[in-house]
Structure 1
Amino acid sequence: MVKIYIDPGHGGTDPGATGNGLLEKNVNLNLALRLRDILLNDYQGVEVRMSRTTDVTRTLAQRTNDANSWSADYYISIHCNAFNGTTRGYEDFIHSSLSPTSVTAQRRDIMHQEITRVNGLVNRGKKSANFHVLRETNMSAILTENGFIDNAQDAALMKSSDWLHAVAKGHADGVARIFNLTPVSRVFRVIVDGVQIGAFQEPQNISNAVLQALPTAGSIVIERT
């Protein structure tokens, strides 16, 4: 069982960065909860623990101590950036003591690739720093900075549910690649006028069944089993 620790930065009395009507703590939590749900709903053999699931205050030491005592396999700290209102983009960090060939760096390479593939942000690169959550964790750790909250263009994305889902999925896709997670089998039942006419995994097969039934159907229901 792979154990993933998700840490939405800031929270409670610490709002983090602010801008364009947004608080970083809320954006971080939104992304983190979506990431948790994707991992738990879409993959087998994964456990998730979070430093917070609501708007509460957690010290940095509380976060890393919790992850260490839980013996997590991977620590993901989720943040947004702020600077001067004009800077845009995504960047991520590992601890500054690590070499580019370390396991943590190799895992970050995968996360970086998957997240930048979907986030639509300027790619500011892969960086290192002496952040507490990267230094005091016993396991591999990454800190992601998902756009600049004080930039109007980045903030507009942060207000989009579709974008938040895509970025959370990018994080999840990275985790799945790193730990070779097995996807949960998805089968969808197509029910026409109360009668199941088929069960399909491929979206095109689902679409074909719906299109075939549309001319005469009173109701069409698609259920995930």
Structure 2
Amino acid sequence: MINIQKYLFFVMMMLFSTFSLAQKKTNFVVVLDAGHGGKDAGARGVADLEKNIALDVVLRFGAMIEKNHPDVKVVYTRKTDVFLELWERTKISNANKANLFISIHCNSAKNTSAYGTETFVMGLSRMGETDEVSRRENSVIILEKDQEKYEKFDPNDPEAVIAFEIMNATYKEQSIRFADLVEKKFVNEQGRKSRGVKQANFHVLRGNASPSVLVELGFISNYEEGTYLASDEGKQASTESLYKAFKEYKKEFDRRSGITSDSDKPKVAKETEKPLEGKVLKVKFLETTLKYTNTSPQLKGLTDVEIVQDGNKYVYYYGNTNLRSRGEELLNVVKRKGFPKASLEEFDLNKKLEGQKNYRVLFMSSNKKYKEKDDRFNGLTNVLRVKSGTMFNYYFGSDKSMNAAQKTLETVQKKGFRNAFIVTFNGEEPM
């Protein structure tokens, strides 16, 4: 049986010391904990170990905070590949009077199709799934020398549960708030799947005298997600989502503390971005000899894709804007969809093809030879028929500039030919 009076006394002392320190402290302290390390590799992913991904993200995360928040003290439990016992991580956090403790991990499952992010706060798990996660993350204690440091918690002991809930209630609301921000940023900023905010009995969280969370960046046992999280793009995107969650949490903390941040001060109106004159930006994300329809799984859910055939290659573009900032946003969308080598291409709307070169729109292919004004053309006239092997390709329009060709393509698509695309011609022959 746990002595509830002892824990109540401990909680009161913890609250008093925290309140006293809050009166004197001028800096916000965040402790960043890269899970596992050294002889504890954590989960083994399809592309890298958990300990390596966690450390990389933590170092990026910390650098981002240090660069943008001079009033924040960033403390790392580890900055290299070293082994730390769980109690040491908690000790570092409490010794530095942390305002927030963030432990970064990667998930793993026998079911390799499992994927998604999830963020944990300290609490009594009510799901077998979270029990499994806590068992895995707590299992590092078998590598530690002195396992007696960890009090055994009996969830069937009412007195123990009451004491546990009292201790946990002190920081639970703020822990859940930050956890919720993290999961929302993963979804809204990266388009990731969130498995939600959950509670579990983690040793690394239980002893913390501050709001504390444990973030699972995703399942490195899943081929696609594991490969993504091991990539530079995946780690950077995860870092940026974490940072945006921290930035919002810190702003709320300052507001509650009566601190006016630079973002709350009157802002000088930003100069309106000027559109590119006579030019548009598109995201080139795929170039292949294969022709895909707009609904092909190879396009990974991108819609309204523009396809241009140039010789024996098909080039796939996404988006159309004359604003540089919007172009960068579109590029990030495409990269998050799984095209890391996508690039932003600039097109001169007034530039015209030289000589007999022109753009035409291929809207139908058939093994049958149709007349120029066939009803199957849905009102399109002056259709060019070109034989290719045993097939007949049907083209509409003849434009010298890409801008005009795009308008022709829109006209054709409105006629019901959604999979139409632009082809470069030399006279009346496809190039």
State the TM bucket, normalised to the shorter chain: 0.7 to 0.9
Is 1:92 the counterpart of 2:119 in the alignment? yes
In the other structure, the counterpart of 1:165 is: 236
In the other structure, the counterpart of 2:417 is: none
Secondary structure, counterpart of 2:84 in structure 1: coil
Secondary structure, counterpart of 1:67 in structure 2: helix
Structure 1, residues 104-157: CA drift from partner, whole Å, max 9, x if none? 222322222223322333211110001012211100001000111111011121
In the other structure, the counterpart of 2:100 is: 74
Q: Is the 8 A contact 1:43 1:183 kept in 2?
A: no
In the other structure, the counterpart of 2:63 is: 37
Report the CA distance between 1:19 and its aligned residue. Answer: 2.0
In the other structure, the counterpart of 2:79 is: 53
Report the CA distance between 1:203 and its aligned residue. Answer: 10
**More relative contact order in 1 or in 2 (CA 8 Å, sep 6+)?**
1
Q: Is the 8 A contact 1:119 1:163 kept in 2?
A: no
For the residues of structure 1 that align with 2:67 and 2:42, how far apart are their CA atoms?
29
Secondary structure, counterpart of 1:150 in structure 2: coil
For the residues of structure 2 that align with 1:83 and 1:9, how far apart are their CA atoms?
17
Distance change >3 Å, CA 183–CA 21, structure 1 → 2? farther
Provide structure 2 residue ranges, at least 5 long, that are not aligned to the other structure.
1-26, 124-164, 255-260, 264-269, 277-431
For the residues of structure 2 that align with 1:13 and 1:203, how far apart are their CA atoms?
54
Give the structure-1-normalised TM-score.
0.78
Q: Select 1:14's aligned residue among 28, 40, 46.
A: 40
For the residues of structure 2 that align with 1:37 and 1:26, how far apart are their CA atoms?
17
Give me the CA root mean square deviation: 2.5
For the residues of structure 1 that align with 2:113 and 2:241, how far apart are their CA atoms?
25
Q: Is the 8 A contact 1:14 1:57 kept in 2?
A: yes
In the other structure, the counterpart of 2:223 is: 152
AA at the equivalent of 2:235: L
In the other structure, the counterpart of 2:182 is: 111
Q: Is the 8 A contact 1:88 1:121 kept in 2?
A: no
Secondary structure, counterpart of 1:31 in structure 2: helix
In the other structure, the counterpart of 1:134 is: 205
Secondary structure, counterpart of 1:58 in structure 2: coil
Distance change >3 Å, CA 76–CA 202, structure 1 → 2? farther
Q: Is the 8 A contact 1:134 1:141 kept in 2?
A: yes
Secondary structure, counterpart of 2:209 in structure 1: coil
Give the structure-2-normalised TM-score.
0.42
Structure 1, residues 31-90: CA drift from partner, whole Å, max 9, x if none? 100100110112231110001001000000110001101101100000000002121110
Q: Is the 8 A contact 2:64 2:243 kept in 1?
A: yes
Secondary structure, counterpart of 2:113 in structure 1: coil
- The answer to which of 42-51 and 58-67 deviates more is 42-51
AA at the equivalent of 1:151: N
- The answer to which of 6-15 and 80-89 deviates more is 80-89
Secondary structure, counterpart of 1:21 in structure 2: coil
For the residues of structure 1 that align with 2:103 and 2:65, how far apart are their CA atoms?
15
Secondary structure, counterpart of 2:64 in structure 1: helix
Distance change >3 Å, CA 171–CA 128, structure 1 → 2? same
Q: How many residues align?
A: 192
For the residues of structure 1 that align with 2:116 and 2:212, how far apart are their CA atoms?
21
Secondary structure, counterpart of 1:142 in structure 2: strand
Distance change >3 Å, CA 202–CA 88, structure 1 → 2? farther
Distance change >3 Å, CA 139–CA 86, structure 1 → 2? same
In the other structure, the counterpart of 1:192 is: none
Secondary structure, counterpart of 1:154 in structure 2: helix
Q: Is the 8 A contact 1:115 1:170 kept in 2?
A: yes
Provide structure 1 residue ranges, at least 5 long, that are not aligned to the other structure.
185-200, 209-225
For the residues of structure 2 that align with 1:104 and 1:19, how far apart are their CA atoms?
28
Q: Is the 8 A contact 1:42 1:183 kept in 2?
A: no
